[in-house]
Amino acid sequence: QVQLVQSGAEVKKPGASVKVSCKASGYNFKTYAINWVRQAPGQGLEWMGWISPNNGNTNYAQNFQGRVTMTTDTSTTTAYMELRSLTSDDTAVYYCAREDFSGYDFYSWGQGTLVIVSS
């Protein structure tokens, strides 16, 4: 079965960067794009972008362009999301999710990674 297992919680200082990983298993990793979605404490869901493991193509949400980089390592079937120049507003749970069905339908999700930005 499809599994997405994310890296553990992180605490970062303002201005730093964070890199979250998402290890995929149970399917052909190159076939499906990986999306990233975040959720600030007590808030709703915010889509950040996707990456195609097949060719490395990316599509970032406008809010994150210039500050986010998504990559994949096909040898380890792992996707990464790096966010730079962190502020307290970036404190959130970050989820990876696999595309499915018509393309932007997220049937499989990781368990989430809490990133706390605090001085």
Partner 1 sequence: EIVMTQFPLSLPVTPGEPASISCRSSQSLLQSNGYNYLDWYVQKPGHSPQLLIYLGSTRAPGVPDRFSGSGSGTDFTLKISRVEAEDVGVYYCMYALLSPLFGPGTKVEI
- Positions touching partner 1 (CB under 8 A) are 35, 37, 44-47, 59, 61-62, 95, 97, 100-107, 109-112
C-alpha span between 35 and 49 (Å, rounded): 6
Residue 1 DSSP class = -
By the 10 Å C-beta count (0-12 exposed, 13-18 middle, 19+ buried), 53 is classed as: buried
Shortest Å distance, C-beta 95 to partner 1: 6
Q: Which two structure tokens, joined as six digits, stand for 56?
A: 């490395």
Shortest Å distance, C-beta 107 to partner 1: 5
Q: Smaller CB distance to partner 1: residue 15 or 45?
A: 45
Q: Smaller CB distance to partner 1: residue 13 or 103?
A: 103
Q: Smaller CB distance to partner 1: residue 27 or 106?
A: 106
Closest CA relative to residue 51, chosen from 66, 30, 65, 67? 30
Shortest Å distance, C-beta 15 to partner 1: 28
